[in-house]
Chain A
Amino acid sequence: DAGVIQSPRHEVTEMGQEVTLRCKPISGHNSLFWYRQTMMRGLELLIYFNNNVPIDDSGMPEDRFSAKMPNASFSTLKIQPSEPRDSAVYFCASSSRNIQYFGAGTRLSVL
């Protein structure tokens, strides 16, 4: 298996623009997580899906952030409008039997 696949690897955008991050989980995994990593706050869980249903979105910072999982093999995290403080590395992870496997991340820079 190719592991968790995220795209793009790097994204540079201007403040106010919409940003969409994409994730393909490992086939057969029924749980998917979005995390944000910054120097100041470390790794933060943004949202958790189980069987494509959002279970816990309490970590989503504000209404500018939204996430979807239309099917078992694809998820998106959207920021609209983006702000400079959203600059971070965003990770997607999928899990089986409570072991989470992480993608390589998307490094987002909002100018």
Chain B
Amino acid sequence: AQSVTQLDSHVSVSEGTPVLLRCNYSSSYSPSLFWYVQHPNKGLQLLLKYTSAATLVKGINGFEAEFKKSETSFHLTKPSAHMSDAAEYFCVVSDPADYKLSFGAGTTVTVRA
């Protein structure tokens, strides 16, 4: 079985400051891990993915995430937040041999001017 815990339901940052969204996972396998972003009234957009290659994964829009097996974590970071980063972010885990995704509860990011 696999599961995801997003440690913060809401994160508020000032524009230009770093963003950190925390995610811990549980998986019986070597997992695939993803971060998706959902802007208001939009679908889920893939930000980045980890599939057992490099542990530091770079995604779109300046986001990156680091896979730490010893800590079972996959935290998402961005050095400098932009107003357009205000959205909901989902950490997702899957078994590479399976089709099912396990979604975290989501973290809502607010960016203050």
CA distance A95 to B44 in the complex (A): 13
With contact pairs A103-B43, A105-B43 given, residues A98 and B103 touching in the complex (Cβ less than 8 Å) = no
Q: How large is the interface on A (under 10, 10 to 19, 20 to 34, 35 or more residues)?
A: 20 to 34
CA distance A91 to B45 in the complex (A): 12
Q: Quick check: is A70 within 8 A (CB to CB) of the other chain?
A: no
Residue ranges of A at the interface with B (Cβ–Cβ < 8 Å): 4, 31, 33, 42-43, 45, 48, 50, 55-56, 91, 93, 95, 98-105, 107
Whether A102 and B45, one on each chain, are in contact in the complex, defined by CB atoms closer than 8 angstroms, is yes
With contact pairs A42-B105, A42-B106 given, residues A101 and B99 touching in the complex (Cβ less than 8 Å) = no
Whether A95 and B43, one on each chain, are in contact in the complex, defined by CB atoms closer than 8 angstroms, is no
- Nearest 6 interchain pairs by C-beta: A102-B44, A102-B43, A104-B43, A43-B103, A105-B43, A103-B43
Can you pick out 28 interface pairs between chain A and chain B where the beta carbons lie within 8 Å of each other? Answer: A4-B43, A31-B99, A33-B99, A42-B105, A42-B106, A43-B90, A45-B100, A45-B101, A48-B100, A50-B99, A55-B99, A56-B99, A91-B43, A98-B32, A98-B94, A98-B96, A99-B34, A99-B46, A99-B49, A100-B46, A100-B101, A101-B46, A102-B36, A102-B43, A102-B44, A104-B43, A105-B42, A107-B41
- A100, closest chain B residue (CB): B101
With contact pairs A45-B100, A98-B32, A99-B49 given, residues A104 and B42 touching in the complex (Cβ less than 8 Å) = yes
Q: How large is the interface on B (under 10, 10 to 19, 20 to 34, 35 or more residues)?
A: 20 to 34
CA distance A48 to B105 in the complex (A): 21
Question: Which residues on A sit within 8 Å (CB–CB) of B100?
Answer: 45, 48
Q: Mark B97-112, 1 if CB is under 8 A from A, else 0.
A: 0011101011000000
Question: Which residues on B sit within 8 Å (CB–CB) of A93?
Answer: 44
Whether B44 and A91, one on each chain, are in contact in the complex, defined by CB atoms closer than 8 angstroms, is yes
CA distance A103 to B90 in the complex (A): 16
